[in-house]
């Protein structure tokens, strides 16, 4: 599987948002929930920093991206990990995860946290993450998606 990783730039913002929306919608969320999700949790332009946001490319086609957020006095946070639906289930998640781990190490982290969509919980468990709690969903108040930590 030939691939490369590209540092994201502000010119990639619309592409990243499209991938995020399609990837999340893959799990069957209705358009009105997706609109709220993108408004509440969508990638923000100021988050697109080359050292924090990486795009997985197959030839010249984008496959997915991940984005970290750095906050003072907080562990590194994996804010986004999205794969375009045509590439889901073909091993690209593992490829992107391995690069994600390396980026976290390059940023000097020994651990990072993430908030998972329930559909992705098993992926993060298979990648070695451990559950550290749950957080109430703003979109669906009766839903408590898992929080995970990944030790490097």
Residue 1 confidence (pLDDT): 75
Residue 77 has pLDDT above 90, yes or no: yes
Domain 4-151: assigned CATH number? 3.40.630.30
Write out the H or E segment, with its range, that includes residue 135. Answer: none
Quick: pLDDT tens for 2-39: 899 999 999 999 999 999 999 999 999 999 999 999 99
Quick: pLDDT tens for 57-74: 998 899 999 999 999 889
Give the pTM. 0.94
What's the mean pLDDT in 82-105? Answer: 98
Distance, in Å, from the CA atom of 31 to the CA atom of 50, rounded to the nearest integer, reads 30
Residue 131 confidence (pLDDT): 98
- Phi, psi angles (nearest 5°) of residue 106: -60, -30
Domain ranges for the chain: 4-151
Single out the residue of 23, 12, 84 nearest to residue 45, CA to CA. 12
- Phi, psi angles (nearest 5°) of residue 60: -110, 5
């Amino acid at each position: 599987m030939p691939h490369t990783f590209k540092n994201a730039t502000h010119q990639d913002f619309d592409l990243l948002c499209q991938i995020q929306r399609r990837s999340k919608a893959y799990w069957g969320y209705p358009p009105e929930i997706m609109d709220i999700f993108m408004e509440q949790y969508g990638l923000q332009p100021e988050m697109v920093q080359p050292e924090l946001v990486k795009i997985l490319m197959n030839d010249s086609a984008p496959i997915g991206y991940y984005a970290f957020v750095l906050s003072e006095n907080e562990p590194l946070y994996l804010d986004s990990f999205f794969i375009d639906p045509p590439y889901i289930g073909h091993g690209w998640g593992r490829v992107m995860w391995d690069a994600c781990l390396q980026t976290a190490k390059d940023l000097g982290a020994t651990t990072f946290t993430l908030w998972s969509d329930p559909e992705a919980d098993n992926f993060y468990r298979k990648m070695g993450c451990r559950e550290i709690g749950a957080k109430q969903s703003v979109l669906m108040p009766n839903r408590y998606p898992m929080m995970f930590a990944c030790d490097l």
